[in-house]
């Protein structure tokens, strides 16, 4: 690599600021945990029930990550090499399952796979035995529903990072689809898959409502539920903190492993065209891709359709409080998106030299929201009424929770840009803002848009740390949905769920399209 | 805003604003303060007569409420805590944070109430709720023998779930384990909270859901739908009594007593039935709203003695976990 001819001080300063941001993120997550330990006055050891909860949590998280990632490969590949009407809509809709409040999504899934769902009705007509969704398989199914689209989108990003010229070269050499996979696609997957699997594993480690509701009973107890129990049933803060620490250690170890296995290599740059895929133009592969896309569209769209169907009736009679909550949530989403994207870029910048930085960013989903919430409460309470800070706290916690996803998108993207253009930029003395403005930003528009869309949509759907910070006057939309359900108003809740889905998708689409505009030539 | 600025903002935000009128701070559970709960109407009615500001602070459910109080200790801003139930009273008592109230109350509860610290404001019976016309087992044994599917709540994360646990334990004692083993194949699933369970039931995922005897009244009154029924069980029905208490650290002791007196007056009690969907602790002069008369009236009310509830609870939870983890 070419040495930088003008090592300006500004670069050192910006590095220092970047490290300060990393320290802040680590502090915002670790300090609350410490506060809980401090308040507990020590730790108490987890009991045998906690260990079996840990075992179940690990099993379901590994299976969920595995299935999500393995299934996402053919889907992303089909999306990457096919053009068809509705492709963009499908890609946008893929953001949807991920952002729905858990209970809304679960009810959607049950409308398809539940006792009186579509699948069982079909089986009934055909005279076949009914399927049972409750159990480990149901938990994994739901987690795949949530995370397969995310994995697909990130992998699609990976596919789009392979320059069209490579595929042209492959075609001119007469390579078949198997060789293309081996030479072009596999190296990309090798460097992308571990990271994606790691993020999904980390999300599923924190699963609580999905695992319990679809797991069918106490066999499906997760660590998060054990933490919940330690808090509210036994008020054993020490045990809650130890369990949170175990959860965090698991994510950190996995992150380290995943980063180790992610191979680093760029492809060199092309002209950013949508590649034509000569090797895939056989009827068999076309059929295969159509089948894959058809199945995944059914799998994702049927439950979403059920959410829409259930919600339409309640939509026109939504109470005014729901609209107010929606506006609160939108403002929060924009604020936390700005923070998330800023942090993700900072982390991506540092991750080029120090991969371990990513593990810090991942902590946002590694620690139980209940523990973070309680810890923040303990930290704030001596100085101020936590309810007054609902907005700030929710925004920050949402931003930290979205950071791992934004990082997953931006880290590889920035790494590729720097790898491919960095030496040239260095030799031109292009650093600091100039480098960011003229090199990074234009190259990163698409992933930036995607990351911002994810962050905004995630923040919309996140319940945040409501348990300890609820402010009656500034309820968020997910909280109002929960309240409507708690007050028997299931139809209004379904309507509000649909509203949430629409707003989230709109935000996601706005950012995502913003990133794509003028990019596809 | 950068994260460090955020932290600065977090730490520097000022304490409670100075108010001209006295402020009474009441901690309660979230669904009480929600727009569809009793909170807004209660606030309006009390402020009309107290020359004060009533400030509700919502925190999760009853258990989360107690948790928050323990975290804050004697420094708490709360003057009143409203929304603990009988299962939490002993733990609340042990915090030493509450003081006796001075209210003489003539309560309409199925059981005698003597606790000097906590004053009930509403109550209800747990019950399985199902669809009219469907098979109706008359007790837990018949339910276990049937092939009906039920959805219940996890006692570790939900108050009704805990209520069911105590119901079975109080009714069957040493046989509770066997009852749970019998029920295991009837349980479609266990949800974290009441909302999920009730939602699942309405979606047709189960024949019965654990809820309250008053649940059908919501459908009848708010939706003109009489298709939901609560099942009377021959063992009797476990009760939930919701109470409020005055904190020893309050800076508004008179106002707090005034609120507690208001709480058992008609103005408060008439709000309860159609917002909290529970029975009022003191029957209002106008009686209950139409629709409540159609509800089942359990022959026998069950409630574990308050000072034994904790020990019974831990034992019952172990049995529950063992029976359902097989």
Give the separation between CA B249 and CA B231, rounded to whole angstroms.
Answer: 44
Same domain, B177 and B208: yes
* pLDDT reading at A212 higher than 80: yes
Q: What share of chain B is helix, strand, coil (3-state, %, to 5)?
A: 40, 20, 40
Same domain, B177 and B89: no
Q: Is residue B193 domain-resident?
A: yes
- Test the B interface: residue of A472, A475, A491 with most B CBs within 10 Å: A472
Handedness of CA B179, B185, B191, B197 (dihedral sign): negative
E runs forming strands in A134-182 = none
Contact in structure between B155 and B164 (CB atoms under 8 Å): yes
Taking residue A44's Cβ as centre, other Cβ atoms within 10 Å add up to: 15
E runs forming strands in B165-286 = 187-191, 208-212, 228-230, 237-247, 279-280
Contact in structure between A157 and A409 (CB atoms under 8 Å): yes
pTM of the model: 0.87
Give the separation between CA B210 and CA A100, rounded to whole angstroms.
Answer: 26
Give the separation between CA B197 and CA B190, rounded to whole angstroms.
Answer: 8
Same domain, B60 and B84: yes
* pLDDT reading at B139 higher than 90: yes
Give the separation between CA A53 and CA A215, rounded to whole angstroms.
Answer: 12
Greatest alpha-carbon pair distance for chain A in Å reads: 76
Name residue, tokens 């730490």.
B11
Give the separation between CA B102 and CA B260, rounded to whole angstroms.
Answer: 9
Contact in structure between B316 and B169 (CB atoms under 8 Å): yes
Chain A residues whose CB is inside 8 A of the B325 CB are: 217-219
Q: Which of B59, B191, B277 sits opposite A470 (nearest CB)?
A: B59
Cα Rg of chain A (Å, integer): 23
Provide mean pLDDT across the span A201-206.
87
Same domain, B62 and B128: no
Give the separation between CA A52 and CA A56, rounded to whole angstroms.
Answer: 6
The structural domains of chain A, with segments of one domain joined by +, span 9-516
- Test the A interface: residue of B10, B31, B212, B324 with most A CBs within 10 Å: B10
Question: What ipTM describes this predicted complex?
Answer: 0.86
CA closest to B204 among chain A residues: A116
Contact in structure between B194 and A485 (CB atoms under 8 Å): no
Give the separation between CA B107 and CA B121, rounded to whole angstroms.
Answer: 9
B189–A contact, CB cutoff 8 A: yes
* A296-309 burial: b if 16+ Cβ within 10 Å, else e: beebbbbbbebbbe
Provide mean pLDDT across the span B18-46.
88
Provide mean pLDDT across the span B207-222.
95
E runs forming strands in A43-170 = none
pLDDT score for A473: 66
A100–B contact, CB cutoff 8 A: no
- Is B325 in Cβ contact with A383 (below 8 Å)? no
Give the separation between CA A206 and CA A369, rounded to whole angstroms.
Answer: 9
Same domain, B316 and B192: yes
Give the separation between CA A371 and CA A489, rounded to whole angstroms.
Answer: 30
Of the CA atoms within 13 Å of residue A221, those in its CB half-sphere come to: 24
Lowest mean pLDDT among A325-339, A451-465, B102-116: A451-465
Which range has the top average pLDDT, A82-96, A290-304, B160-174?
B160-174
Same domain, B36 and B103: yes
Which CATH number among 1.10.3720.10, 3.40.50.10210, 2.60.40.1730, 1.10.287.130 corresponds to the domain A9-516? 1.10.3720.10
- Is B324 in Cβ contact with A218 (below 8 Å)? yes
Give the separation between CA A95 and CA B90, rounded to whole angstroms.
Answer: 47
Contact in structure between B209 and B139 (CB atoms under 8 Å): no
Give the separation between CA A71 and CA A146, rounded to whole angstroms.
Answer: 13
Same domain, B24 and B76: yes
pLDDT score for A263: 53
- Is B277 in Cβ contact with A20 (below 8 Å)? no
One-letter-per-residue 3-state SS of A435-448: HHHHHHHHHHHHHH
- Is A468 in Cβ contact with B64 (below 8 Å)? yes
Q: What share of chain A is helix, strand, coil (3-state, %, to 5)?
A: 80, 0, 20
Number of A–B residue contacts, CB under 8 Å: 193
CATH label of the domain that carries residue B29:
3.40.190.10
Confidence at A225, pLDDT banded by 50, 70, 90:
confident
- Is A20 in Cβ contact with B189 (below 8 Å)? no
- CA A388 to chain centroid: 29
pLDDT score for A2: 43
Give the separation between CA A152 and CA A416, rounded to whole angstroms.
Answer: 19
Give the range of the structural domain holding residue B155, as residue numbers without chain letter. 124-238+296-324
- Is B157 in Cβ contact with A488 (below 8 Å)? no
Give the percent of chain A with pLDDT over 90.
Answer: 17
pLDDT score for A166: 80
Chain A residues whose CB is inside 8 A of the B198 CB are: 485, 488, 490
- Is B156 in Cβ contact with A228 (below 8 Å)? yes
Same domain, B313 and B191: yes
Give the separation between CA B125 and CA B277, rounded to whole angstroms.
Answer: 11
One-letter-per-residue 3-state SS of A111-122: HHHCCCCHHHHH
* B178-209 burial: b if 16+ Cβ within 10 Å, else e: ebbebbeebbbbbbbbbbbbbbbbbbebbbbb
pLDDT score for A274: 60
Give the separation between CA A211 and CA A135, rounded to whole angstroms.
Answer: 9
Give the separation between CA B251 and CA A274, rounded to whole angstroms.
Answer: 70
Same domain, B147 and B193: yes
- Test the A interface: residue of B199, B219, B227, B316 with most A CBs within 10 Å: B199
- Number of domain units in chain B: 2
Chain B residues whose CB is inside 8 A of the A390 CB are: none
Give the separation between CA A149 and CA A93, rounded to whole angstroms.
Answer: 9
Q: What is the per-residue pLDDT across A310-351, written as a single tens digit (0 to 9) for each?
A: 899 888 878 888 999 899 899 999 999 999 999 998 888 888
Residue B223 makes CB contacts below 8 A (sequence gap 6+) with none
* pLDDT reading at A264 higher than 70: no
Same domain, B43 and B152: no
Give the separation between CA A72 and CA A154, rounded to whole angstroms.
Answer: 9
Same domain, B106 and B153: no
Residue A390 makes CB contacts below 8 A (sequence gap 6+) with A469, A470, A471, A474
A31–B contact, CB cutoff 8 A: no
Q: Is residue B201 domain-resident?
A: yes
Chain B: nearest CA to A467, how far in angstroms? 5
Name residue, tokens 């066999």.
A219
Same domain, B180 and B48: no
Give the separation between CA A485 and CA A151, rounded to whole angstroms.
Answer: 31
- Is B277 in Cβ contact with A212 (below 8 Å)? no
- Triad A141, A221, B166: Cα angle to 5°: 125
Name residue, tokens 């939930």.
B240
A42–B contact, CB cutoff 8 A: no
B315–A contact, CB cutoff 8 A: no
The DSSP symbol for A181 reads I
Give the separation between CA B271 and CA A316, rounded to whole angstroms.
Answer: 27
């Amino acid at each position: 690599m070419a040495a930088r001819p003008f090592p300006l001080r500004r670069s050192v300063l910006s590095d220092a600021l970047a490290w300060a941001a990393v320290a802040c993120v680590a502090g915002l997550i670790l300090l609350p945990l410490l506060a809980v330990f401090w308040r507990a006055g020590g730790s108490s050891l987890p009991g045998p029930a906690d260990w079996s909860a840990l075992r179940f949590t690990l099993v379901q998280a590994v299976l969920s990550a595995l299935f999500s990632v393995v299934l996402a490969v053919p889907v992303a590949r089909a999306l990457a090499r096919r053009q068809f009407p509705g492709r963009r809509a499908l890609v946008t809709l893929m953001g949807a399952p991920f952002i729905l409040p858990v209970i809304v999504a679960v009810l959607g899934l049950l409308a398809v796979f539940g006792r009186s769902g579509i699948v069982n009705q079909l089986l009934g007509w055909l005279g076949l035995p009914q399927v049972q969704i409750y159990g480990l398989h149901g938990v994994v199914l739901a987690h795949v529903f949530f995370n397969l689209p995310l994995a697909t989108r990130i992998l699609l990003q990976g596919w789009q990072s392979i320059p069209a010229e490579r595929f042209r070269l492959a075609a001119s050499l007469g390579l078949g689809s198997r060789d293309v996979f081996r030479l072009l696609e596999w190296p990309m997957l090798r460097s992308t898959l571990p990271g994606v699997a790691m993020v999904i594993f980390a999300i599923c480690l924190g699963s609580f409502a999905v695992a319990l509701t679809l797991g069918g009973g106490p066999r499906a107890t997760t660590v998060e539920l054990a933490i919940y129990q330690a808090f509210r049933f036994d008020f054993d803060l020490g045990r809650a903190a130890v369990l949170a620490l175990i959860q965090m250690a698991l994510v950190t170890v996995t992150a380290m492993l995943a980063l180790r296995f992610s191979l680093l290599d760029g492809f060199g740059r092309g002209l950013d065209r949508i590649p034509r895929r000569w090797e895939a133009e056989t009827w068999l592969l076309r059929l295969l891709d159509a089948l894959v896309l058809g199945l995944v569209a059914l799998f994702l769209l049927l439950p979403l359709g059920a959410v829409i169907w259930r919600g339409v009736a309640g939509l026109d009679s939504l109470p005014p409080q729901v609209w107010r909550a929606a506006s609160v949530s939108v403002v929060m989403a924009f604020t936390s998106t700005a923070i998330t994207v800023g942090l993700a870029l900072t982390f991506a910048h540092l991750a080029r030299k120090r991969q371990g930085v990513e593990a810090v960013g991942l902590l946002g989903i590694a620690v139980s929201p209940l523990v973070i919430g309680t810890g923040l409460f303990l930290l704030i309470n001596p100085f101020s009424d936590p309810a007054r800070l609902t907005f700030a706290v929710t925004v920050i916690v949402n931003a930290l929770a979205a950071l791992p996803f934004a990082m997953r998108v931006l880290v590889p993207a920035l790494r590729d840009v720097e790898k491919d253009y960095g030496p040239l930029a260095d030799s031109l003395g292009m650093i600091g803002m100039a480098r960011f403005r003229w090199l990074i930003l234009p190259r990163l528009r698409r992933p930036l848009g995607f990351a911002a869309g994810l962050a905004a949509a995630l923040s919309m759907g996140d319940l945040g740390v409501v348990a300890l910070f609820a402010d009656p006057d500034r309820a968020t939309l997910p909280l109002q949905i929960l309240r409507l359900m708690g007050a028997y108003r299931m139809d209004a809740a379904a309507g509000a769920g649909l509203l949430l889905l629409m707003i989230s998708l709109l935000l996601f689409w706005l950012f995502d399209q913003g990133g794509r505009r003028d990019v596809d030539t | 805003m950068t994260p460090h600025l955020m932290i600065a903002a977090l730490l520097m935000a000022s304490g409670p604003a100075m108010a001209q009128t006295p402020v009474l701070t009441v901690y309660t559970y979230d669904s009480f303060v929600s727009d569809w709960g009793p909170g807004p109407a209660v606030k309006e009615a009390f402020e009309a007569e107290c020359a004060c500001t009533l400030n509700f602070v919502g925190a999760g459910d009853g258990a989360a409420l107690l948790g928050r109080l323990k975290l804050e200790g004697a420094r708490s801003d709360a003057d009143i805590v409203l929304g603990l139930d009988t299962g939490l009273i002993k733990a609340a008592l042990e915090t030493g944070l509450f003081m006796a109230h001075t209210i003489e109350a003539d309560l309409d509860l199925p059981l005698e109430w003597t606790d000097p610290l906590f004053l009930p404001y509403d109550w209800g019976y747990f019950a399985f709720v199902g669809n009219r016309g469907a098979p109706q087992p008359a007790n837990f044994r018949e339910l276990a023998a049937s092939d009906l599917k039920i959805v219940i709540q996890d006692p570790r994360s939900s108050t009704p779930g805990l209520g069911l646990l105590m119901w079975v334990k109080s009714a069957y004692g040493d046989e509770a384990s066997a009852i749970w083993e019998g029920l295991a194949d009837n349980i479609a699933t266990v949800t974290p909270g009441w909302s999920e369970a009730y939602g699942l039931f309405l979606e047709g995922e189960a024949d019965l859901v654990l809820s309250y005897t008053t649940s059908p009244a919501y459908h009848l009154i708010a939706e003109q739908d009489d298709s939901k029924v609560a099942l009377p069980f021959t063992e009797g029905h476990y009760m939930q009594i919701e109470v409020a208490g005055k904190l020893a650290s309050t800076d508004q002791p008179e106002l707090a007593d005034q609120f507690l007196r208001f709480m058992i007056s008609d103005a408060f009690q008439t709000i309860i039935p159609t917002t909290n969907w529970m029975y009022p602790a003191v029957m209002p002069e106008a009686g209950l709203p139409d629709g409540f008369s159609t509800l089942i009236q359990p022959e026998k009310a069950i409630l574990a003695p308050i000072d034994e509830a904790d020990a019974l609870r831990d034992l019952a939870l172990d049995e529950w976990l063992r029976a359902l983890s097989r």
